[in-house]
Structure 1
Amino acid sequence: MVVLFATAALAWVVFSTLAVDPAALTAGVVMFGTPTSVSTFVYTTELGGDEGFASLNVFVTTVASIGSLFVLIHLIG
């Protein structure tokens, strides 16, 4: 869950520095606070990685994002 908040916080800093409009700031922060499941699983299966670990990553980041997205949307919105 820390990674989801860390990437969202980094996105907030970068987008704030670039002085984008509020809609782009919100979209960027929320996007970086979402689970990493799609890219993790695709890269793992295509490159012959540890599918068990990728599955665990999908599960953990998806469950953690339930809480993190509520918090991020509340803070940004």
Structure 2
Amino acid sequence: MALNIKNAQVESLATEVSQMTGESKTEAIRRALEERKQRLSFQVVHENRADELRSFLEREVWSAIRARSSSRRLGAR
């Protein structure tokens, strides 16, 4: 399957990167896309972990802290 790039800036970037690395333009573009895909996948995983951590903290930690704080205000230990 062919890819026809009709954007001067993309063409220029591909040329610059291929000259810097000694790769073909095709290889430079392929590697750039693979690296971006990995970064995006990594972000999704970490966003999910952040949500999971937040849920855990709300459910297990913060609720226990609130319960202790409430009972201390009432004079219980």
TM over 0.5: no
Higher relative contact order (CA 8 A, sep 6+): 1
Q: Choose 1 or 2 for highest CA Rg.
A: 2
